[in-house]
A and B are shown apart, each in its own frame.
Chain A
Amino acid sequence: MNSSRFIQISKVFWQMILRDLAAYRPQYKDDLINTLIWNCLVVFVFAYIMPEVGLNNFGTFILITNIASIGFFSTTEKIGSIVSDLEGDKAISYYLTLPIPQWLVFVQMAIANAMQAVSIAIVAFPIGLLILGDIHALPHFCWWKFAIMLVVSSIFYGFFSLVAAAFTKNIYSMNNTWLRVIFPLWHLGGNMYPWKEMHNVSPIFANILLANPIMYCLEGTRATTLAPELSLSFWTCVLTLLSFTALMAYVGISKFLKRLDCL
């Protein structure tokens, strides 16, 4: 009985994921173009123009940071649609009536967002490498670690966006969420510097920044592609991110269950 229930829940869950991916397909091209414009411009400027200001060999670093950040921006972009649905159509009410535990509806939302983010990042990566124009740009690249990190960080981003949406009161508060939470987390999360450099400047501040989960996403991805001694260790990043994911999942789902008066 238990196993048949489990199979039924898995089937519904999988169908919901497929439905989300099918609904996303028409939007995929536009999202991909938007991401490619952003990634290519940033890599171009940092690889070819910024050396004039003294910032040398930064193109590869910024490309990897961008690839690790794509998921963050792609999933947080969805906060607006989640919040406007809560305020408007409340399509989520329908999903909450499906024959699966209600908390799984939110897990499904996070996973579907994570899958969409991965689908964009894996295309943006080789195109960014083309902009760099150097096939030996990543001598330390380890594909399986990179793949693990991409998946783990995207799942974290998916649950993080769930938390951010749960705490965003209405669509007008979106800008506040973006400027007060998302941007500082990203910009102080090592998007332009490795954690070890921050440690050289201010050990106290560097240690505080270890509480920033984005630091592990960016450091972890760099550990799989750039010289490993420059970043935090890969496994530390993976394990810490998994813990942060569990925390975000718990907080996000509890908050949503409360906000939507779920059983």
Chain B
Amino acid sequence: MKLTRILSNLQVLKTLVQHDIMLHNSHLLRRCIDTIIWASCVTIVAQYLLPLFGMSHSFGIFLVISNSVLWGLFEINSQLAEFLSEIEGGNIISYFLTLPLPASLVFVKYALGYAYRSWISSFLVLTSLFFIQDFGQLHLTPWSIFSFLFMHFLANLFFGFFCLFTVSLSPDVTYTTTIRSRVIFPLWHLGCANFTWLMLYQVSPFFAYLNLLNPMTYLLEGIRASILPQFISLSYGTCVAATIGFIILFGYLGIIRLKKRLDCL
């Protein structure tokens, strides 16, 4: 009896997520263009101009691989505004909450939908490898490619659930700028996007240990550990385990806070 119930819940969840995916796919081309523009601008500057200031020539590829994860963090901005306007409008989310599905799974559906959006478009960041033209720096074996894809998937799953958490922190849509400046930007800029954890450790061990509380550190170190072994600072396994831990933590906090906010049963 209980198993049937679980299976039926999962079936409803699957249908809702499929619906989200279908809706998003209709805007996919537009989003892919945005991704390519952004990634190309960043890569051209890193690959051709920053070396003139003494930056290592491998910084271009370092940044492309990091950006394939970072894109999902930036996607949170638009998803946050969208979710908050749904909550403020009230109609759509109220409908989902009346479905024969535990309220938690409704929020899981949102997280999975958002994870899909950032996952699918962030692959396009890799098109900027075209500007690098030195693929010898990439460690391309079946295992490393699998590790990369797995970490990329986990990272986007994290962003989906982290989005729920940021929504739960925001009182209204006007708060999105504050979330971007006070949460997303510091996580990104201090989260080993432009440097490895080891470099940070050489500058300030205290600050480096403090940065281990930043989930972006694990996502970025993990993705680089999979395919750019020359930049390894934290082991791949550690990054995977920490990312899963953060997904559970932020998923739990986000869902609890949203259920409270929306007076769910």
A residues with a Cβ closer than 8 A to B are 30, 33-35, 37-38, 41-42, 45, 48-50, 52-56, 58, 77, 175-176, 179-180, 183-184, 187-188, 192-193, 197-198, 200-202
Contacts and interface: CB of A to CB of B under 8 A. Distances in A.
Contact of B48 (A53, A179, A184, A201): A201
B37 interface: yes
A180 B34 CA distance: 6
A200 B48 CA distance: 11
A176 B42 CA distance: 17
A193 B10 CA distance: 52
A53 B199 contact: yes
**Counting chain B CB atoms within 10 Å of each CB, which of A42, A45, A50, A179 scores highest?**
A179
Given A37-B185, A193-B53, A188 B203 contact: no
| Interface of A, helix, strand, loop or mixed by DSSP | helix
A187 B186 CA distance: 19
A192 B49 contact: yes
Contacts of A56: 53-54
Contacts, number: 94
B199 to A, nearest CB: 4
Nearest to B203: A49
B83 interface: no
A58 B59 CA distance: 16
B185 A184 contact: no
Given A41-B190, A193-B50, A34 B182 contact: yes
B33 A49 contact: no
Interface in B24-55: 30, 33-34, 37-38, 41-42, 44-45, 48-50, 52-55
Contact of A197 (B52, B59, B77, B185): B52
A175 B182 contact: no
B5 interface: no
Nearest to A46: B194
Nearest to A192: B45
Given A53-B55, A175-B34, A193-B45, 19 more contacts: A33-B182, A34-B177, A37-B186, A41-B185, A41-B190, A45-B195, A48-B204, A49-B194, A52-B199, A53-B199, A55-B55, A179-B38, A183-B41, A184-B41, A187-B45, A192-B45, A192-B49, A192-B50, A197-B49
Contact of B185 (A30, A38, A183, A201): A38
